[in-house]
Structure 1
Amino acid sequence: MRNTKWIYKTYEKLDSNINFDKDILSILASRNISTKEEVHKFLNGTIEHLPNPLNFTDIEKARDYILRIAKENKSIWIYGDYDVDGITSTSLLYLGLKELGIDVNYYIPLRDEGYGLNKEAISHIKEQGGNLIITVDCGISSHEEVEFCNSLGMDIIITDHHEINHGIPNAYATINPKRLDNIDSFNLLAGVGTAFMLLLSLFEVKNKKEEAYKYLDIVAIGTIADIVPLVGYNRIIAKYGLNLLKSSKWLGLNMLLKRIFENPQEKKFDTYDVGFIIAPIFNAAGRLEDAKMGVDLFTSEDHVKCDNLIYNLINKNSERKTIQDEILEKALNKIELKNLDKKNVIVVAEENFHHGVIGIVASKIVDRFYKPTIIMEIKPQEGIATASCRSIEGFNIIEALNSFPELFTKYGGHAGAAGFSIPIENIDIFEEKINSYAEEVLNSSDFIKPIKIDREVSFYKISYDLLDKLSFLEPFGFGNPAPLFAVTNCKYSNLRAIGKEKNHLMLNLNKDEVEIKNCVWFNSEDMLETIKSSSELDVVFKLKLETYKDKYQYKIFIEDIKPSKEKINYNKEMINLYNLNFPLETVIYTRRDLSQIPLTINFKNNEVNIFSGMSLVAYLDPQIQYILKTLKDKYNFNFKVKIKKILPKMENFNNHILIERDYDFKSYSIKPGDLFKDIKQYLIGDFNYNYIQKNILSSIFKEKKNTIGILEKNRGINTIIKTIGLFYKSIGKKALLIGDELDSHLDNFIFTNNKYLENYDFYIYLNKKPENTTNNNILVLSEIDIKIENFNIIKDSFVIPKNIVFLENDEDLFSQKFIYSKKLPLEEKISIQKTLNTMEKIYSTKDILVIL
C-alpha cells in the first residue's frame, strides 16, 4: 500500500442557474470559480481579456525610452536567462523589436556564469557598443550589477517576474507583475509574459496590436515551461498560444514540431506536449551547453541552420536524459546505502553531479519518497557546491533557507523550489540544520502524500460527453491541474507489468457494464501484489481523450489505487444517475452520411442502439447504453436523438449526436377519465396523486371552478401543472403557466410566460394573483394564504410522521441507510410509501412531503 491519503476537495453549494455539467461545475467551484460570471469568464476567456499593458508600472516609461533611443540608432541589448522562460523571453523581444525596425542584439549567460546579471557580461555588452540593456526573466535582485551598469553610462530596463525581496533596483525602469504599485493586481505572469506586456505596448503605440498576438505560441511555451499557475492571463496566453503551434510563423519552431510530432498541423497541442516534449529540448541546451542555440532556433530564417540546430538540440536532450538517469541512479543508491530516506530532508551531495539536471533529479526523488530533497554538485576546485531543492506541501523551502543564510554564498527561490551555493565545509552543518528545522515544523502526517481528488465519478460517465466538457477547462497545468477523479468498487482484469524495466502496470477496469481497457499506472511495480490480493479496487485517475483510426478512445492514467473497503452505495449511484444533465453528446461511427436519415433510439435484446426505421445504423458506447437502459428501467424515462455535426474522416464518418430526454406524451384515449389515467401513469407511474393534488384537480375538472391551491412546492405543485398542461395539449387546446423564475423543464408540458397573454384556454398563476379574474378556467397555486372572490380555496393539510429526519440536500443522504428522495427509482419510492409508518427512522429531503 502506498503512503498516501485521499482528500476530496470541497466547495460551496453550486449555482443552480448555471446550465452545465454538475461534475464540471463542482471542479470549478473547488477552485473558487463558482458564480455565473466567474464560470463564464473562465470558460470563455479570450485574448481580448488580456490586460492593458500600461496597467503595469513603468511599461509606458520603458516603451517611450526604447522608441526614443531606437530613433537615435543607439544599440539595444536583451539580457536573458538560460532556462526556457529566459530563452523564449529573449527570442520574443528580439523578434518583436526587429519587426518594429529596431536594431537589437541579445546575450544569454552560460550556466557556469550563474543566474542573472553579472558584471563581466555587462562589460562585454558595453565593449560591443551597447547603450541600453533590457533584462528578461532576471534582474530584480541585481542591485549591485544595475549600479555597475549605470557607472558604465549604460541604461538598463528590467523585466522580471521573480519576488521583490530587496526593493526595486536603481534601473531606468523596472517592470514586474509583483510590484505593489501596479494598477493590475495579477502578479503571476512568467518572465516571458512580462516581456510580452512590454512588446504589446510597443505594438499598440505603432497601431499593430493584432500583429503582436502571433508571438503567443512563443509566450505559451515559456509560460508553461516555467510552471507558473495557468489561471487568469496565463491561462489565456497558454490556451491561445497552444492553438497557434500547429501553424507557427517561426521557421525553426515549425521545423522542430514537424520533426518530433506526427502531423503537427492537425494536432491539438496541450501542456504535456510543451512541458515534457518541446520545452526539455530547449532546456537541454542551457543545461548542458549554450542556451543561445534555443534563441537561434526561434529566430533563424535559414532552413539549413535550423535543421542543424534541431539535430544538435535533440542530441543534447538525449544526452541530458542519459546524464539525468545516471545521476538519479547514483543518488538512489546513496539514499538506500545511508538510509537517507529515513531523515526529514533528503540531502545528497556528490562530485560530478551535473548542475544542469540536479533539479530534475531532486523532483523525481520527491515523487518517490515524498520528502523535501536537496541534490548538490560538489566542485572541489572552486571550494563550493551548487544545489537544487524541491519540497513538499507544508514545507516552505525558501523559509527554511532563510533560517541560516550565513551558510550560503548565495541562494534564492520559492516555497516549492530553490537553489543555493555553499562552501563545501558547510555541507554537513547545513544537512544537520535543515533536518533540525524540518523536525520543528513538520510532523509524521506531513510525509503522507496527499492525493487531492476533484470529484468521485460514476464509471458510466467516462464517455465522450464528460471528456468533451472537460476540454473546456484546458489547458491544464500548475494552478489549473488536470482533474483527479475517483471511482469505487471496480473489478479488474488482465493485470500485467509493462515497460522495458517492467516498472509500470496496466489493467482493465470494469463496472456498470462498462470496461475501459489498458489503464496505465506508471512507476507502480511495488503495487502489483496489493492489487492481485484485492477483489475490488478504488481508483484515482486522470482522463484523456485520444483517437485511433478516427475513433475516440477514453484513456485512464492511474494516480493511486486502494483495495475497496466499503460496499457500493446503491442509493448514491441511483441519485447520481438521475442527476445527469441532458442532452448527452456522443459519437457514432458509420460508413455513410446520416444527415438526411431519421434516427431513433431502439431498446432491444438488452441493448440500446441507433436505428433508422427497423434498420440498425450504429452502435452506442456501453457507457451511454447503460445510462439510457437504467434510466428507462428505473424511472420510465424516454429519449430522442438528433445530429449535432458530422465530420467526414478517412476511416469513417464521425457523427456527433445529442441524446435528449423525450417529454412527448402520447395517448389514444378518447374519454377524459381514460386520458387522465394515461397522464398519471406517464407522470408518476404507480403512485397516486396525494390529498392536495386530488382535491385541486377535482375542483378544476369535476367542479369546473376557478381554484386557489395553498400548498408548499414540495407537495407536488409541478405534477399538478404538468397534469393540466398535458390534458389541454392532448385535447388540442392551450394552457398557460404565469410566474417568475419558472423551472425551465416545465416548457415541455405547458406554455409559460411571466405575464398574462390572450387566447389561452386555461391559466395557471404560480405565486401570483391573476390580473383578470372574470375568466373561467383559472388556477392559482400559492405558498402563502390568499383569497380571491368567487374562487374555490383548497388548503393543504398533512401530518409529518415523527420518524422522518429532514436533511438539507441529497448529498447528506448518502451516508444514511434508510432514505427517501424523489430521485430514487419508482419501485423504491412506492415501497417506502407503503412501509413509511412502520420504519423506525428515515432520512429525507423535503421531497418526502409529496407522498404524505
Structure 2
Amino acid sequence: MVWQKYPIESDTVRKISEEFGIDLLLASILVRRNLHRREDIKFILEDDLLFTHNAFLFVEMEDAVDRIHQALEEGEKILIFGDRDVDGITSTVLLTQTIRDLGGDVRWQVPMGDDPYGLNMESVERFAADDGSLIITVDCGISNKQEIERALELGIETLVVDHHNPPEELPPAVAIINPKVEDCGYPFRDLAGCGVASKLVWALLFSRSPFYNQSVCLLNVRPGNDSYFIEAVKLVNLVETDRVVETLNPGMVGLADTRLYRFLEGEEILVYDAGPQEKMLRKIFGPDTLIALIDLKPEIEQVFPALRGRGSSLLALREKSRIGKYENSRLEEIDVLANLFRSFVHRKVPALNEDFPRCLDLVALGTLADLMPLVDENRILVRQGLKVLNSTGRKGLRELLFQKNLLGKRIGTTDIAWQLSPSINATGRLGRPDTAVNLLLSDDDAQLKELAEEVDALNRERKKLGETVWSRILPKTRKNLDEMSGNMVFISDSSIHRGITGIIASRLSNTMKVPAVVVAHFDGKAVGSVRCDPPFNVRSFLSNFEDLFFDYGGHDCAGGFSMPEEHFENFTHRVRTFAKGIEPVETVEERLSIDAELPPAYMKPELITVQESFEPYGEANPPLVFLARGMKILQADLMGKKEVVHLKLLLEGGVHKWPAVYWNAAPRLGRDFQIGDTVDVAFRLGRNYFNNTETLQLTVLDLHRPEDVHLVEERPAE
C-alpha cells in the first residue's frame, strides 16, 4: 500500500488559519482536502441551520405550499406516497407527521410485498375511489408521468417531492420539488429524498408565520465624501427578489425623480437605527421629506441581547458577521441588514427554531442510508440530526435504539450505517416497510415494543437470506465476469429474493471492482438492481434498455429496474454486448491518503477535537487519516471471535500511550513487525465505548518500520 500525502502551500494554510481563527493543523487538513474555498470552509466550521439554503429557492416551493394549504382549508384527503427504503420511509414519516400536525386529513402508503418502485395505477385508482384529491410523492414520482396523468384525469392533483434523476419529460404535477431538475432554482443537487421533504416541511412551518409571502423592504443610507449611498433590497420568504442602489448629492434631486421612489412605493420600509437614517434622508431630499421608517433595532436587540447597549452600527456588525466571513466579496451594509433580518426571523418564529430541528433525526437517518455526499448543507443537516437523535423524543426510534443496545450511547454515523439503517431497510427489502413507518409514527407504548421487535426480526431474516444467496452465487461470479468481457458482473437467479438484489449487487461490485447487475424473477417479472463506482453511470446505463422496462430509475451509482419476463433474454444479450464496450478502469496500487503528519507534540488527547471537526463522516467525506512517525509497539495481543485474525495494540507516541486495534493484521505480527519495534503508523482516531467507559482509540490502517514506508508526496496526474 502506497501512502499518499499531497503537498500544500504553507502560505495558504497560514492565511486560512488567521482569517478563520483556526489552528494550523485544522487549516492544513482543509487545504489538503481541497476545501479552501470559503463556501467549503463554511460547511466544515458551522452547524447553525441558518447556514443551510432557503427552501423557497425552489422556484415551485410556493406553489407546493399553497396547494397543501388549500387542501388543509378545504378538508381534502391527502395521500403521502413514499418508497420502501430508509430514505423513502423517513420521507413518508416526515411529511405525514407534519401535515397531520397541521390538521390535515392525511394517510400514507409505501410499496408493499413485490409492489414496484414508485406511484402505481392501482394506488391512484383506489385513492380516487376514496374521494382523494391530493397525492404527494416523496423519494419517488419524478418518473411517474403516466400515473400522474391518470390521477389528473380522475381529479387528483399531485406534488412531486423527489431527488432522483429526472427523465426528459416531466410529469404534469402542480409542483415539482427536486434539486436535480434543471432550472429548479435550488443551489445544491445532492439532497436525499428526506432532505428534500424536510425543505417542504420548513416551508410549511414558515408559511404559518406572518412573514410568509410578504414583501419586506430593507433600506440603508450611508455617507460618502460629498454624496450619500442609498441601498435597498426586497425579500419575499427571506429570498432577495430585487435591489436598488443610488448615489445622490444633497439637494440635487427630489425623491419622486429617483428609482428609489418607485422601488419603495407602497412598501413598509425597515431600517436599522431609524434616527440617523431619517436625518440623512432629509439631508438628501430636503427637510420636509417624509419617509415612514420602521426601526428594526429594538426588536433585533430583544432577540439578540448581546447587541443591546453597544451602539452597534451595521458597519460595526459587518466586522463581526459570521455569515460575512464566508462571502467572496466584502458585504455591503445592506447585506449585513438582510442577513441580520433573516437571523432575526429564524429566532423569532418558534416553528423554525424549535419544531423544525426535531425532524432532523429522520433527515440524518435517510441521508446517511442513501449514501448522499456529506458536503454542503448535508453536513449541517446530518450534524444537527445526530444531535437530535442522541436526545430523541421520538418513541419509535428510542425503542429501536433500545433493541440495538444503543440507548444512552453517543450515536454516530457508524452506528447508523451498521445498525439502524440496515434494520429499517430490511423491512422494505422483505416487503414490510409499513412496519418501520408505523414504528416511527406511533406513540402507543404497547405497540412500539412489538413493532421494534418485528423490525429486528426482519433484519435477522434479511441477513440470513443474504448470506445464503452470497455463498451460492459467489462461485459463479468468475465465470460470469469472463462472459461479460471482464467489465461487469451479471447475476440472475430465480431463488434470489427481490428485496436483497441491491445488497448483493453492492457486495459484488465492491468485491469484483466492476459494475454489478443482480436480477430476481417472480410473478412473470424480472426485477434487478445495479451498483457501481464512478465513472460508470447507472442511470445512463439503464437508459440503453428503457424499451424493455416497465420502469427504471436511480442515482448515478445505484439504480433499479423491472421488466416482463419475456424481455429478459433480450436484455441479457444486449447487456453482454454493452459490457464489451466498457472501457476498463486502469488498476493502480492501492493508495492511502494521509490528511496530516503529526509531530510528537500533536500526539495528545486534544487531537480528537480536530477529528470531530470534520464529522459527520460518510460519502465524499471519509474519516481523517493521520500519520505518526516513530511510535513504539509496547504490547500486541491477538483477538477475534471465530478466527484470531486481529490485533489489539498498545502504542507509545508523544508522551502518551495509545490503545489501538489493527483489523486482519494478525499474520503480520512477527513477520513485518514485533513488540518493541519503532514504526510509522497511519491511523484514524475515535472513541471506544466499553462497560460504560469512554476511551480514545486508534484504528491502525497500516504500519511499517520506517525503512519500509512507501510515501508519495505529489498529487497524481490529472
* TM-score (normalised: structure 1): 0.61
Asked if the contact 1:324/1:358 (under 8 Å) is kept, the reply is: no
* Structure-to-structure mapping, 1:70-89, within 5 angstroms: 70-89=72-91
Counterpart check, 1:519 vs 2:661: yes
Q: Alpha-carbon deviations, 1:530-552, whole Å to 9, x = none?
A: 74699776654322123557765
C-alpha spacing 1:139/1:41, structure 2 compared with 1 (3 Å) = closer
Amino acid at match of 1:556: L
Q: Alpha-carbon deviations, 1:694-714, whole Å to 9, x = none?
A: xxxxxxxxxxxxxxxxxxxxx
* Residue of structure 2 equivalent to 1:307: 449
Asked if the contact 2:59/2:184 (under 8 Å) is kept, the reply is: yes
* Residue of structure 1 equivalent to 2:394: 250
Amino acid at match of 1:14: V
* Residue of structure 2 equivalent to 1:58: 60
Counterpart check, 1:321 vs 2:323: no
Amino acid at match of 1:472: S
Identity %: 30
C-alpha spacing 1:497/1:336, structure 2 compared with 1 (3 Å) = farther
Asked if the contact 1:395/1:442 (under 8 Å) is kept, the reply is: no
Secondary structure at the counterpart of residue 356 of structure 1 = helix
Secondary structure at the counterpart of residue 158 of structure 2 = strand
Q: Alpha-carbon deviations, 1:273-305, whole Å to 9, x = none?
A: 222211222111111132111111111111111
Amino acid at match of 2:508: I
Counterpart check, 1:424 vs 2:590: no
C-alpha spacing 1:155/1:36, structure 2 compared with 1 (3 Å) = closer
Amino acid at match of 2:179: P
> Which has the greater radius of gyration?
1
* Residue of structure 1 equivalent to 2:517: 374
Secondary structure at the counterpart of residue 334 of structure 1 = helix
Counterpart check, 1:346 vs 2:489: yes
Superposed displacement of residue 407, structure 1: 5.8
* Structure-to-structure mapping, 1:6-17, within 5 angstroms: 6-9=3-6, 11=8, 13-16=12-15, 17=18
- Alignment equivalent of 2:421, drawn from 267, 270, 279: 279
The 1-side partners of 2:646 and 2:365 are apart by: 29
C-alpha spacing 1:568/1:166, structure 2 compared with 1 (3 Å) = closer
Counterpart check, 1:230 vs 2:374: yes
* Residue of structure 1 equivalent to 2:26: 24
Superposed displacement of residue 389, structure 1: 2.0
Asked if the contact 2:3/2:593 (under 8 Å) is kept, the reply is: yes
C-alpha spacing 1:457/1:47, structure 2 compared with 1 (3 Å) = same
* Residue of structure 2 equivalent to 1:620: none
* Residue of structure 1 equivalent to 2:555: 414
C-alpha spacing 1:568/1:558, structure 2 compared with 1 (3 Å) = closer
Q: Alpha-carbon deviations, 1:560-595, whole Å to 9, x = none?
A: 5667545799xx9xxxxxxxxxxxxxxxxxxxxxxx
Superposed displacement of residue 367, structure 1: 3.2
* Residue of structure 1 equivalent to 2:696: 554
Amino acid at match of 2:618: G
* Residue of structure 2 equivalent to 1:579: none
C-alpha spacing 1:409/1:15, structure 2 compared with 1 (3 Å) = farther
The 1-side partners of 2:41 and 2:536 are apart by: 32
Range moving further from structure 2, 35-44 or 315-324: 35-44
Counterpart check, 1:261 vs 2:405: yes
The 2-side partners of 1:359 and 1:516 are apart by: 39
Counterpart check, 1:335 vs 2:472: no
* Structure-to-structure mapping, 1:41-120, within 5 angstroms: 42-120=44-122
Asked if the contact 1:509/1:519 (under 8 Å) is kept, the reply is: no
Q: Alpha-carbon deviations, 1:591-612, whole Å to 9, x = none?
A: xxxxxxxxxxxxxxxxxxxxxx
C-alpha spacing 1:69/1:511, structure 2 compared with 1 (3 Å) = closer
Q: Alpha-carbon deviations, 1:433-453, whole Å to 9, x = none?
A: 243122xx224426x555443
* Structure-to-structure mapping, 1:527-538, within 5 angstroms: 531=672
- Alignment equivalent of 2:609, drawn from 468, 481, 494: 468
The 1-side partners of 2:485 and 2:669 are apart by: 24
Amino acid at match of 1:8: K
C-alpha spacing 1:400/1:135, structure 2 compared with 1 (3 Å) = closer
Superposed displacement of residue 238, structure 1: 0.9
Counterpart check, 1:356 vs 2:355: no
Asked if the contact 2:624/2:684 (under 8 Å) is kept, the reply is: yes
Amino acid at match of 1:360: I
Q: Alpha-carbon deviations, 1:774-812, whole Å to 9, x = none?
A: xxxxxxxxxxxxxxxxxxxxxxxxxxxxxxxxxxxxx99
Superposed displacement of residue 61, structure 1: 0.8
Secondary structure at the counterpart of residue 158 of structure 1 = strand
Q: Which has the higher contact order (CA 8 A, sep 6+)?
A: 2
Asked if the contact 2:603/2:654 (under 8 Å) is kept, the reply is: no
Counterpart check, 1:387 vs 2:562: no
The 1-side partners of 2:667 and 2:542 are apart by: 34
Amino acid at match of 2:150: F
Range moving further from structure 2, 167-176 or 301-310: 167-176
**Cα RMSD between the aligned structures?**
3.3
Asked if the contact 2:179/2:188 (under 8 Å) is kept, the reply is: yes
Asked if the contact 1:133/1:157 (under 8 Å) is kept, the reply is: yes
Unaligned 5+ residue runs, structure 1?
Answer: 573-810, 813-852
Asked if the contact 1:57/1:179 (under 8 Å) is kept, the reply is: no
The 1-side partners of 2:709 and 2:58 are apart by: 56
C-alpha spacing 1:361/1:449, structure 2 compared with 1 (3 Å) = farther
The 2-side partners of 1:565 and 1:430 are apart by: 52
Superposed displacement of residue 476, structure 1: 1.4
- Alignment equivalent of 2:625, drawn from 484, 507, 513: 484
Superposed displacement of residue 64, structure 1: 1.0
Q: Alpha-carbon deviations, 1:124-175, whole Å to 9, x = none?
A: 2212221100010111111111111111111111111111232432111111
Secondary structure at the counterpart of residue 464 of structure 1 = coil
Secondary structure at the counterpart of residue 125 of structure 1 = helix
Secondary structure at the counterpart of residue 377 of structure 1 = strand
- Alignment equivalent of 2:440, drawn from 282, 298, 301: 298
The 2-side partners of 1:56 and 1:433 are apart by: 41
* Structure-to-structure mapping, 1:741-820, within 5 angstroms: none
Superposed displacement of residue 350, structure 1: 1.8
Superposed displacement of residue 44, structure 1: 2.1
C-alpha spacing 1:93/1:386, structure 2 compared with 1 (3 Å) = same
- Alignment equivalent of 1:139, drawn from 133, 141, 151: 141
Amino acid at match of 2:13: L
Asked if the contact 1:88/1:222 (under 8 Å) is kept, the reply is: yes
The 2-side partners of 1:355 and 1:505 are apart by: 38
C-alpha spacing 1:127/1:470, structure 2 compared with 1 (3 Å) = same
Superposed displacement of residue 324, structure 1: 1.3
- Alignment equivalent of 1:288, drawn from 421, 425, 430: 430
Instruction: Name the count of aligned residue pairs.
Output: 561
Unaligned 5+ residue runs, structure 2?
Answer: 210-350
Amino acid at match of 2:183: D
